[in-house]
A and B are shown apart, each in its own frame.
Chain A
Amino acid sequence: MSATAAAPAIPEPDLAPVDAILAGYPQTETSLVQVLQDVNRTFNYLPCHALEKVAASLGVPLARVFSVATFYKAFSIKPRGKVIIRICTGTACHIRGAPLLVDEFVRHLGIRAGETTPDMGFTLETVNCVGACAMAPVVIAGPRHHGGLSPADVPDVIQGKSDDD
Chain B
Amino acid sequence: MSHEPSGRVVKIEIDGRVVEARTGEFLLAVARRAGIDIPAICQHEAVDPAGNCRMCLVEITKASWDGWSRLVTACLYPTEQDLIVKTHSAPVIEARTVLCDLWLARCPDSAYVQKLAAEFGIEKTSYQPAAVPTDQCILCGLCIRVCEKLGPAAIYTVNRGGRKKVAGPFEGPPPDCIGCAACAEVCPTSCITVAERDGTRTIWDKEFQLLACTTCGRTLVTIEEARYFGRKGGLGESYYQLCDRCKRLQTAQQATKVAGLPLTVGGLGEASGRPFRSPGSLTTSR
Closest to B165 in A: A70
A63: chain B residues within 8 A (beta carbon): 153-156, 168-169, 174, 176
Could you tell me if A71 and B160 are in contact, using CB atoms closer than 8 angstroms? yes
Within 8 A of B (CB), among A51-98: 51, 61-67, 70-71, 77
Does A100 make an interface contact (CB < 8 A)? no
Does B170 make an interface contact (CB < 8 A)? yes
Does A3 make an interface contact (CB < 8 A)? yes
Chain B nearest CB: distance from A29 CB in Å? 11
Distance between Cα atoms of A91 and B268 in the complex (Å):
75
Could you tell me if B171 and A51 are in contact, using CB atoms closer than 8 angstroms? no
B64: chain A residues within 8 A (beta carbon): none
B199: chain A residues within 8 A (beta carbon): none
Could you tell me if A2 and B172 are in contact, using CB atoms closer than 8 angstroms? yes
Closest to B153 in A: A61
Does A48 make an interface contact (CB < 8 A)? yes
Does B175 make an interface contact (CB < 8 A)? yes
Does B125 make an interface contact (CB < 8 A)? no
B156 partner, pick from A3, A51, A61, beta carbons under 8 A: A61
Chain B nearest CB: distance from A109 CB in Å? 25
Within 8 A of A (CB), among B149-170: 152-160, 168-170
Please, what's the 1-or-0 string for A5-32, where 1 marks a CB less than 8 Å from any CB in chain B? 0000000000000000000000000000
Does A159 make an interface contact (CB < 8 A)? no
Could you tell me if B170 and A48 are in contact, using CB atoms closer than 8 angstroms? yes
Distance between Cα atoms of A51 and B169 in the complex (Å):
10
Distance between Cα atoms of A4 and B171 in the complex (Å):
9
Output the residue of A63, A64, A70, A77 with the most chain B CB within 10 A: A63
Main secondary structure of the interface of A (DSSP, over half): helix
Closest to A63 in B: B156
Could you tell me if B170 and A4 are in contact, using CB atoms closer than 8 angstroms? yes
A2: chain B residues within 8 A (beta carbon): 170-172
Distance between Cα atoms of A48 and B148 in the complex (Å):
22
B176: chain A residues within 8 A (beta carbon): 61-63
Closest to B171 in A: A2
Please, what's the 1-or-0 string for A98-119, where 1 marks a CB less than 8 Å from any CB in chain B? 0000000000000000000000
Chain B nearest CB: distance from A10 CB in Å? 15
Could you tell me if B168 and A3 are in contact, using CB atoms closer than 8 angstroms? no
A4: chain B residues within 8 A (beta carbon): 170, 172
Distance between Cα atoms of A62 and B168 in the complex (Å):
9
Output the residue of B148, B158, B168, B175 with the most chain A CB within 10 A: B158
Distance between Cα atoms of A63 and B169 in the complex (Å):
5
Closest to B174 in A: A63
Distance between Cα atoms of A51 and B168 in the complex (Å):
13
A66 partner, pick from B148, B152, B170, beta carbons under 8 A: B170
Could you tell me if B169 and A62 are in contact, using CB atoms closer than 8 angstroms? yes
Closest to B157 in A: A67
Within 8 A of A (CB), among B133-189: 148, 152-160, 168-172, 174-176
B155: chain A residues within 8 A (beta carbon): 63
Distance between Cα atoms of A4 and B123 in the complex (Å):
40
B148: chain A residues within 8 A (beta carbon): 61
Chain A nearest CB: distance from B241 CB in Å? 29
Distance between Cα atoms of A65 and B154 in the complex (Å):
11
Q: A61-B176, A67-B157 are in contact. List 17 more A-B contacts (CB 8 A).
A: A3-B170, A48-B170, A61-B153, A61-B156, A62-B169, A62-B175, A63-B154, A63-B169, A63-B174, A63-B176, A64-B156, A66-B158, A66-B169, A66-B170, A67-B156, A70-B159, A77-B170
